[in-house]
Amino acid sequence: MNAPAPDRDPLGGYLYAEKPPRLARQAAGAVFLAVLVLAALSALRDWGDGRIAVPPAQRTFERFADGGTAQYLAGQLARGAFPTALADAERGAGWLLTGSLGPRVRQGCPGWLFLVDELAVHPHARADAAARLDAVARVRDRLSRQGIGLLVAVVPDKSRVERAQLCDLYRPVSSAGRLDDWMAGLRQRQVPLVDLFPVLDQAARAGQPPFLRTDTHWSEHGARLAAEAVAQAVRRTGVAAAPPRHFTLSAGPEHEREGDLVRLAGIDWLPARWKPAPDRVRTTTLTAAAEPSASADSADDLFGDAGNPTLALLGTSFSRTSNFTPFLENGLQAVVPSFARDGGDFWGSAQQYFASPSFRQTPPKLVIWEIPERVLQMPVAPAERAWMEDPVPRGPGG
């Protein structure tokens, strides 16, 4: 008896040698239908609970016509309880079965996680980095006209400093000169800067990791080294850090700290034994001492300026992690107001601060601007490019 002919598509090609069993087809259809029903029920529940909503700004004819309303609603639905659970399950299975940490995280040596942003190659890297260099110089010039100094501190990539922990993870050759090129660009434009790479690199070589294994940020050891380097650079500017603040330091007991890269990979919900081992850290507590009241015999006191901070810190989550800002205040023995923002990238913190009442009403004498290396060559968004043209509102003197 002749075997049945395989199924063919209209062009004569073979689709498959034989159909899947009837039971398998029915089971697949039942699973697919169940997923659709559960997704619909989950969306209805989220809508009823108010977790999914379409605000009035998204309900205009213009937004509906250009697809904006549909895009907004799709984003809301994707963040619902059921899609989130499915995404978590997919991430967990990917890690346990294949060692995949998703699109944003990679593992180097065992237990060492790295952010993909540091390893990305951008299409217009040099042009975008040059645009940001020009923007920094423009900020320096605008601040200078108002009698304010600028000090830039670039945080080197974790994958640069902890390169010995990359193992088989590839760091693009094109990123090798990124940090040095940026520093050279700042020096060429005569922008004051502090190079944080030497102190962090020395710590890594000495076996005292300046970065956390499971986090994209520096450890307390790295943050303290960086803060001391920035404090020394501030003193070299000649700006007197004020008002004074003195601290007592005490180290807490060792405890586990799960890094942001575990959460970004979407596997933080897994049992501890199935996740990368957390970092073991000791958190330093810095307690500010009470300062004596200043005498009211100076010109600043007469005009009410004696208590105004002379420094302002801009930056990203690096400035908000591992006690960097308190360590900087301790190194300077002075108050350092921080306007850093998580996820601020190159311009977020600066844009917000220079447009704020804090800057207009109580301008500092020196702005410290912390910038991560990984954002230097990222594509410049239209809103960022517009800000670059006019980054600091003009003061009374122009």
> DSSP letters along 151-182, please?
EEEEE--HHHHTGGG-TT----GGGTTHHHHH
Six token digits for residue 252? 């807490």
154 pLDDT above the threshold of 90: yes
> 255 catalytic, yes or no?
no
Region 390-398: what's the mean pLDDT? 72
**How confident is the model at residue 304, as a pLDDT?**
47
Q: How confident is the model at residue 21 (pLDDT cuts 50, 70, 90)?
A: confident
What is the rounded average pLDDT for all residues in the chain? 86
Q: Which residue has the higher pLDDT, 331 or 292?
A: 331
* The pLDDT value given to residue 302: 43
Q: Which whole number is the average pLDDT over 68-91?
A: 65
Phi, psi of 337, rounded to the nearest 5 degrees: -60, 130
- The interaxial angle of helices 324-332 and 220-237, nearest 10 deg, is 40
CB 238 within 8 A of CB 282: no
Tokens 């991430």: give the residue.
Answer: 91
Instruction: Note the pLDDT of residue 349.
Output: 98
Number of Cβ atoms within 10 Å of the Cβ of 138: 16
Catalytic residue among 46, 128, 157, 215: 215
pLDDT above 50: residue 16: no
pLDDT at 14: 45
pLDDT confidence tier of residue 17, bands split at 50, 70 and 90: very low
Cβ contact 335:242 at 8 Å? yes
Break the chain down into helix, strand, coil percent, rounded to 5. 45, 15, 40
In the prediction, which pLDDT does 89 show? 77
Worst-scoring range by mean pLDDT, 28-37, 196-205, 221-230? 28-37
Question: Which range is least confidently modeled, 47-51, 328-332, 372-376?
Answer: 47-51
Catalytic residue among 157, 159, 217, 279: 217
Which of 42, 219, 317, 322 is an active site residue?
317
Q: What is the mean pLDDT of residues 20-33?
A: 66
pLDDT digits (tens, 9 = 90+) for 353-368: 999 999 999 999 999 9
Region 78-84 average pLDDT: 61
Mean pLDDT on 319-334: 98
- What is the band of 303 on the pLDDT scale with cuts at 50, 70, 90? very low
CB 266 within 8 A of CB 89: no
215 classed as catalytic: yes
Q: Which two tokens stand for residue 87?
A: 């995404």
Q: Is 298 a catalytic residue?
A: no
Does position 73 have pLDDT exceeding 70, yes or no?
no
Q: Give which of 302, 305, 306 is closest to 294, Cα–Cα.
A: 306
* Least trusted range by pLDDT, from 70-74, 235-239, 254-258: 70-74
Residues 112-136 have a mean pLDDT of 98
Task: Single out the residue of 304, 371, 395, 305 nearest to residue 151, CA to CA.
Answer: 371
Query: Which pLDDT score, from 0 to 100, does residue 55 have?
Result: 72
| Amino acid residing at 222 | G
Check residue 324 and give its pLDDT: 98
Predicted local confidence at residue 299, as pLDDT: 42
Say whether pLDDT at 6 is over 80: no
pLDDT tens per residue across span 243-278: 999 999 999 999 999 999 999 999 999 999 999 999
- The predicted pLDDT at position 397 comes to 45
* pLDDT tens figures, 85-108: 666 777 788 898 998 999 999 999
